[in-house]
Structure 1
Amino acid sequence: MSDRLITVSAPTDAAVTITMNRPAKKNALSIAMRDQISDALDGLASDETVKVVILTGAGDVFSAGFDLREFGSEDPDVQAGLWPSSDRFHRTVLQHPLPIVAAVNGPALAGGFDLAAMCDIRIASVTARFAHPEQAFSDVVYGPLHDLVGGATARYLCLSGRSVDAGEALRLGIVSEVVAAGELAAAAWGLARDIARAPRDILVRTKAKALRRASGPAGTATLEL
């Protein structure tokens, strides 16, 4: 359907890929796209045939972040949906009961960086880079990145807005592996198969342990993360 901003693959070896499919807009996370990702994750959470989710972007950008045009919209429906959609999106990704692998196929900026950080494991293409350019004009989501790399690195990136390439991201612990652009999908699927060797109930219990130690209680609003 033309209004679908994501694609969801059929389960293969107990893994499903969600692809953000708005490449002409650098996979900007509009309200509609956020809601579609949240809906897809909610459905997969109860699908007993699925053990792991891969999240990636179409084209050469993982995600450039939230769709800034919506923040300037005069449509009252858009304004009414901005933060409820955002709060649900962050809560749904952060609290998903199954492991999520981010296959970062290119720049992950602002909310796109947040999305990658909220996943459990990140594999990056050599073309990936990570930055919080929104620090110059907006609050930055801090907690997930702090959980991932610790306070010193999280403060450096969130307060400065500096951009790091894939190699530096590997050194800082933002990503677990860097591969050639043409090898990213295979690397992500290989990792998913490794994860899926475990029974689903064990993966759910292990993920629950990780969630209990994460920053931010259930229901934390976006701008409080």
Structure 2
Amino acid sequence: MNDALRVDVDHATGIATLVLNRPQQRNPLSTGTMRALTAALRTIADDAAVRVVVITAAGPVFSAGHDLSEMVDRTLDDERAVFEVCTELMDTVQEIPQPVIAAVQGPAVAAGCQLVASCDLVVASSAAVFGTPGVRIGLFCSTPMVAVTRAIGRKRAMQLLLTGDTIDADTAADWGLVNFVVAPDELDDRTNELAARIAASSPLTLAIGKQAFYRQIDLPQDEAYELMSETMATNAVTCDAQEGMSAFLAKRTPTWVGK
């Protein structure tokens, strides 16, 4: 495992934590770090005991984005390779069955903001800021734009992209990039509480729901209803759904089997 990434898998709680771990360099998303993140997420995807993933970072900065030292005096194919690795990471965040929560303690900009926007849920410290400042160094944040626009919409995304300005955590929450804003000393506890609430549900149901969300979100409404009606019907006949509905009717706690 790349030493720029710490991985902690707690099977007792069902929570895996991935920690960006180059604080002195502001946790850049180098190709090595992005590959390590992708590999860790894929390993976790196959671990039935893990129900939730948290991505966080050491030090005062969540991530300053790509490692620019990898992008100077390189060929076009070299540059393409960086963004292929990046795209693979962002896709993997949304493809794995477990919900992924970003716990953001500080600035998340450029590809760091893209990673946050790609996560399913975001808990942010009130000290966090978010932005896509690439325009200021002559490198428009085109790949971050994909995830950020889908999270906050066209006009607000264009504001960030064209100005390079950052927004604070409260504004990010108002715009839909962040779910919860908490005091800095509450970030870990609030994130763990959220992860534990999610982990209490059936892992099969969580996987069905997460994957269904991304399949339907950009479809026309009639196609989305057709696809989701079939998804919900097949979900309803699973062991966990039958157990959950029976437990609700009997006023007892369900026992999940993941089938």
TM-score, length of structure 1 as denominator length:
0.88
Q: Could you say which residue in structure 1 is the equivalent of 2:94?
A: 94
Q: Which residues of structure 2 form unaligned runs of 5+?
A: 220-259
Deviation at 1:4, TM superposition (A): 1.5
Q: Which residues of structure 1 form unaligned runs of 5+?
A: 217-225
The reply on whether 1:172 has 2:180 as its aligned counterpart is: no
Contact 1:143 1:215 in 2 (8 A): no
Paired letter, 1:42? R
User: Aligned pair count?
Assistant: 215
1:26-62 CA distance string (max 9 Å, x none) = 0000111000000000000110001110000111110
Q: Percent identity?
A: 33
Q: Residues of 2 paired with 1:191 and 1:104: CA distance?
A: 14
CA RMSD of aligned residues (A): 2.2
Higher RCO (C-alpha 8 Å, min separation 6): 1
The reply on whether 1:36 has 2:39 as its aligned counterpart is: no
Q: Residues of 1 paired with 2:174 and 2:77: CA distance?
A: 43
Deviation at 1:158, TM superposition (A): 2.2
Q: Structure 2 residue aligned with 1:149, among 149, 152, 155?
A: 152
**Secondary structure of the corresponding residue to residue 142 of structure 1:** helix
Q: Residues of 1 paired with 2:26 and 2:86: CA distance?
A: 18
Q: Could you say which residue in structure 1 is the equivalent of 2:194?
A: 191
Q: Residues of 2 paired with 1:155 and 1:19: CA distance?
A: 30
TM-score, length of structure 2 as denominator length:
0.77
- Structure 1 residues 24 and 77, CA gap change in structure 2 (3 angstroms): farther
Q: Could you say which residue in structure 1 is the equivalent of 2:3?
A: 4
| Structure with the larger helix share | 2
Q: Could you say which residue in structure 1 is the equivalent of 2:224?
A: none
**Secondary structure of the corresponding residue to residue 96 of structure 2:** coil
Deviation at 1:157, TM superposition (A): 1.8
1:163-205 CA distance string (max 9 Å, x none) = 1011211222211111111111111100000111110010001
Deviation at 1:101, TM superposition (A): 0.4
Contact 1:73 1:79 in 2 (8 A): no
Runs of 4+ in 1 over 4 A off after TM superposition: 73-81
Q: Could you say which residue in structure 2 is the equivalent of 1:54?
A: 54
